[in-house]
Each structure stands twice: as C-alpha cells, then as structure tokens.
Amino acid sequence: MSDRLHLSQTRLSGDGKRQGETFLLWACFLVMAVGFLLRLFEVHLTAYNVSKHDLGYIVGLDSDKIGSGHLGYIEYICKNRALPDFKPTARWSFYNPPFFHVCAALCLRFWIMLGIPEAQSWELVQYFPCLVIGAAVLGMYLILRELRIKGVPLLCAMTLLSFHPALTYQSLALNNDPLALCLTVWAAWFALRWFQKPRLSFIIGVALCVGLGMMTKLTVALIAPPIALLFLYRFFKDKQWLPYLKQFGIFAVICCPLGLFWSVRNQWLYDIPMTYVQSLPKDYPQNISGFSLWERFGLPAFSDFLRVESSWDPASEVGFADHNLWSQTLRTALFDDNALELTGGWRQVAVVLLMLAMVLTLLYAVLALIGLFRAKDTHWAVRVFIGSAAFLLLANYVKFCYDYPMTCTIHFRYIIPCLPWGCAGVGLWWQSVTGKQTSGKRLPARVVLGVTLGLTVVFCTLSALLCLHGLPRVEA
C-alpha cells in the first residue's frame, strides 16, 4: 500500500512539474509575441530616417545624383538594379557588403511596383529590419531550447531578449546590423543542431548563414572559429573521415564564395583591403585619441554611468566627447545615440534604468561565467563554443575601439550577439545548481534566480515605457 501511495505521489509531482513547465513555455511565447508587437508598433510610429547609424540621405529615384550612407546605398541598387560600378569608398558606407542593401532595395522596388508613393514605400521598407529582429529573437529562443534551458531561466532570458531596448532600436534601423545579428544567431543554432545530429541539411544551413552573414557584414565571420571547434570535435571523435570531409567540402563551396565575394571583388578591382573600415577625419570632434588608455578602457567615475545623454563634441555641455568604453557602451545599449527625447520625470526613470542595467549586467556576467565552468551536464565543447563566441566578439570590439578612437565606435550594437550567450550562461548556471545540490541547498540559488527574474521584468518594463514615450514621432 505504501509503495502504491509513493508511486501515486511521484506521478502527481511529475504531472505538476510538467504542467508548470508548459505554463512557463506558453508564458515565453506570450512575452515574445508582445515584444514583437511592441517593436512593430514603434516602427509604425517612427520615421524610417530617424536612426543615426550612418543612415545618410536619399536624392530620389528619379534623380541622376547618388545619395550617401545606407539609405543612399539602398536607393542606388534599387535605381540601377546593380551593385555600385565605382570605387565603393567614394561614397559613405558603400564599402559595406551588399546583401542587406539588396534585400532592402528589393522591398523598396516591390512597394513602388504596387503603386505606393516613394516616400511611403521607404516607410514600409522599415518593417523589414523589424521582421529580421523578430526572426533573430526566435533563433535565440531555439538556441536556448537546444541547450535544454527551460522553466524560469528560459522565461527570464526571453523577457530580456524580447524587450531589450537595443533590439527595439535595431528594429528601426535601415542598416546592415539587424540582418547581421539574425544570420549570426541562426548560424549558431544550425551549428548546435549539427553538433547533436551531423546531418548535411544542418551544415548547409550553417554555410548559408555564415556566407550570407559575411555578405551582410564582415564581422559575422567571428562566429566561424567557435563553429569550427564544434566541427573539429565531431570530426576527430566520430572518426567518420570521408562523410565529414564531404560535408566540410560542401560547406566551403557554399560559404566561401558568398562570404568573400564582396571583399575579393573590391580587393581585385579597387585595391581595397579586405578588412577595410571607413574612417572619420582625424580632426573630427569625435576623435578621442588624446585621452589616456585608462580614461578610455579603465573604469570611469560612477557619475559617468548615470549620465543619460551621449556627447560627441568637446564643445557640448559635458565638456568632452564620450571616450570611456564601459559607460558609453552601457549608455548606447539603453538609449542608442540619444534616440529618446526625455523630459521631466522620465529622465529620472532613465537614470534608474541605468542603475538597473549595471546590476543586471554584473549579475548575468557572474552567473554566466559560473554556468560555463560548472554546467557539467552540458557538453564541454558546447560550453567552449558559447564562451569563445562571446569572447571573440568582445575582444574584437575592444580592438575596434582601440584602432579607431572615435566616440561613434563605442556602441553596444557591435556586441549585441553577446546577449543570447549571456542568457544561455545563466541557464547553464541553473542547470549546474539543480544537477548537483539537494533541494535544501537550492534555496539560495532560487532566491538569486527570483531576484534576477524580478529585476529583469522591472528593467524591461521601464525600457519599454521609455521607448514608447521618448522615441521621436517625426515625419520623414
């Protein structure tokens, strides 16, 4: 009788646990849907030319002149139905790989073919990056599920990823950043799927995402070395030499032409280095090379973390151009390049958001590091993949800021792919706790997880309210 009672209690406990996980899974879907609708609403209200990231200007499809920046690049392709036939460095931002701009030009041409006026067609093109960011968030969710992250850690991660202000700003940006992020995320998911089941279809997915990603933005190549680690592990572990060599050959045939096409073309035709980056003049007000390395890369005064507005000019009220990596990266993560118009009490809300972001950044980083080292239930190669993907991105960002000492180079948009890796690390931390400790010892960990979820919800709520209030509603 006692055995039957124990078995019945065990079944009830298991059923209750499954119901709880199902509820949290649906909660994740709801959070993702609401986040997507919020970004869609912002795109509907905000003009296409509000973003400040090398957006440039257009001259009109009927004009013989050539615009500048990403908008001018899109317009040129739409107008001429061809890639630039001149040295790309002659126009600002035309040196960028063209995949995003080709896609946006096709969208623009489609709306114009339907008889929609040119100005309104540009507004409709802005929905393209919004949909791309929605696909990126979906890819982040699939990565977390692939890592067997579920329950409260999954809900915590998807809340942050669905409502992070940086992704809202990316949804509004008619540049190559959103598509580069999306293809990076999906390349990682395909790579993790291939690691579990080395099928040809998965490695073709990796090849397409990495290749098209590099044709969107060359820094997508940073995900390639971590992916190569997964490939090499399976290659030497499984010892299926010929089948894997065939798969790797197919990968190279697809990925290399797509990824290197634009760089090789420009190197061959115009002698432009493959890693070329267009630089601002040295006498530009944004030049911060005069500051010491400690001022640029060391921890700043605490008050600098609490300043909402960015400064690009020594003649501004601040008295200097922003130059510190830590504070400016945090500021651009929350407010982009002064994207919000905040007055009255909303400025105090923004300061609270900055303080919350500092706490959450530290909390997520610590928990992620613990998870990467202690989550023994997750294969060590996968943990190395996650850690190296984040490390390479951060290391490249620091080098970029060092090589190009301008305020505009210090921006969170260059390291946005770190967001899912931080969330994955927190999920792995929870796995390491639940996998080893008894329920009594889990109480402190449950408190930490509850605090993390609570702070994440408050952070996302405040950031959503600030975006709804502060993003400019101007006509293009």
3-state SS string for 385-449: HHHHHHHHHHHHHHHHHHHCCEHHHCCHHHHCCHHHHHHHHHHHHHHHHHHHCCCCCCHHHHHHH
- Which tokens is 194 given? 């291939």
**pTM, 2 dp:** 0.93
Instruction: Tell me the average pLDDT of the chain.
Output: 90
Q: What is the rounded distance in angstroms from the CA atom of residue 369 to the CA atom of residue 243?
A: 36
> Which range (47-51, 105-109, 327-331) has the least confidence?
47-51
User: Where in the chain are the domains?
Assistant: 175-276
Instruction: Classify the phi-psi angles of 277: left when phi > 0, otherwise alpha if psi is within -120 to 50, otherwise beta.
Output: beta
Contact 56, 104 (CB under 8 A): no
What is the reported pLDDT for 18? 67
Residue type at 82 in one-letter notation: A
Contact 328, 322 (CB under 8 A): yes
pLDDT tens per residue across span 207-264 = 999 999 999 999 999 999 999 999 999 999 998 999 999 999 999 999 999 999 999 9
- Per-residue pLDDT, averaged over 376-400, amounts to 95
What is the reported pLDDT for 11? 56
What is the reported pLDDT for 282? 84
What is the reported pLDDT for 2? 52
What is the reported pLDDT for 7? 47
- Per-residue pLDDT, averaged over 140-166, amounts to 95
pLDDT band at 21 (very low <50, low <70, confident <90, very high): confident
The burial of 335, by beta-carbon neighbours within 10 Å (0-12 exposed, 13-18 middle, 19 or more buried), is given as buried
DSSP 336: T
What is the reported pLDDT for 51? 76
> Which range (307-321, 326-340, 349-363) has the least confidence?
307-321
Nearest to 331 by CA among 349, 298, 312, 306: 306
Q: What is the rounded distance in angstroms from the CA atom of residue 133 to the CA atom of residue 187?
A: 15
What is the reported pLDDT for 17? 60
Nearest to 385 by CA among 146, 167, 180: 146
- Per-residue pLDDT, averaged over 273-287, amounts to 86
DSSP 96: S
